[in-house]
Amino acid sequence: MSEAAQFAIVTTIVVGAAIVLGTIAPVLMEGRAVTRAFDNMARQPSVADRIRGLLFVVLAILESGAIYVLLICLILLFANPFEGMLGL
Amino acid sequence: MSVESVFPQTVFRLLGIPVKDSVLQALFIVLALSIFAVVTSRRYRVWGPRPWQLAVEYLVETIENLIRDTSGRSLPQLVPFLTTMILFIATANVLGIIPLLQAPTRDLNTTVALALVALGSWIYYGVQSRGIGGYVRSFVEPVALMLPLNILGFFSRALSMTLRLFGNVVASEVIGAVLFALVPVLGPLPLTILGLLTSVLQALVFTVLTFVFIVDAMGQEEERAETTASAS
């Protein structure tokens, strides 16, 4: 197997594993945040609008954990710095 | 439209510096928003306002309410800055919905520039509120041992804001491009709609975080004012 093919295979496997493992924690935490928010919206409908507004902002911030993983994956796929070093 | 076309292309070179298309798109937004602002303020009417004027007033009031809800005090000097920031980022993020145009925030340089503006605003309002000595002293609070951590935290805030905005915009554009390659007709539509939502939301998040860190840099001005008021 040529070095380029090896490089492509390893990159693909690593990126696939990274996106699976890296999104587990953010998604679980987002689920917890949504559960608590809905619980409290049902308990206190008077502040439901404020909770909903804050929930979206908090979700967007929690989402950034998964976004960092995606960024690393995109860099590995499209702008891998080691590609030039190996001369592929 | 392939995945590679999501990333910014060099249009021309100015004095040997490559100029990406995201720069031109950002300048286009600046121009459009400036014309919009001038026209809206020229046609300002107290009686019988037009829908556009009402929309802008609604936005400014939303920012004012946001400031009051988040920090518990009204800071009128921040309203123009934050409104400009949310307008620019929201417009920049949804610009990709127009054919032949793409979101300038999909370029890392644009988001770095925005984060540098935010970083400058933290220093500016911090120095304005506490004085240079007070602001520098805030880096060695609570103990001098925290100085490296505080400096690191100061820059990593800007870094995380940069990457968050960039990542979200690039993610939605890449997903759109990949789905377009698989199912060209109506395939990317649901994710485009979701992308519109997250784009506007990220503009809000960027603005709220900038504001929260400005308030952090300004310190407890309110308490000091209250103690002087109660002392007199």
Per CB-CB distance under 8 Å, the chain B contacts of A68 are 163, 167
Per CB-CB distance under 8 Å, the chain A contacts of B3 are 78
Q: What tokens does A6 get? A: 């090896």
Distances (CA, A) of B112 to A62, B222, B229: 21, 32, 42
Q: What is the pLDDT of residue A77?
A: 83
- State which residues of chain B have pLDDT below 50: 232
**Which residue matches tokens 């689920």?**
A31
B219: left (phi over 0), alpha (psi -120 to 50) or beta: left
Per CB-CB distance under 8 Å, the chain B contacts of A67 are 163-164, 167-168, 171
- When scoring A30, A64, A77, A80 by the number of chain B Cβ atoms within 10 A, the one with the most, hence best to mutate, is A64
Across the interface, of A50, A60, A70, the residue whose CB is closest to B205 is A60
Q: What is the pLDDT of residue B178?
A: 83
Q: What is the pLDDT of residue B232?
A: 45
Q: How many other β-carbons are positioned within 10 Å of the β-carbon of residue B98? A: 10
**CA-closest candidate to residue B85, choices B53, B122, B51:** B122
- A47 has a chain B CB within 8 A of its CB: no
The residue type found at B48 is: G
Q: What tokens does B174 get? A: 């890449």
Contact at CB, B205 and A74, closer than 8 angstroms: no
The overall pTM is greater than 0.95: no
Q: A44-48, A74-78, B34-38 — which is least confidently predicted?
A: A74-78
The residue type found at B143 is: V
Q: What is the pLDDT of residue B43?
A: 81
Does position A50 have pLDDT exceeding 60, yes or no? yes
Q: How many other β-carbons are positioned within 10 Å of the β-carbon of residue B54? A: 10
Across the interface, of B3, B7, B201, the residue whose CB is closest to A60 is B201
Q: Quote the CA–CA distance of A56 and B190 in Å, as a whole number.
A: 19
The answer to whether the complex's ipTM is over 0.85 is: no
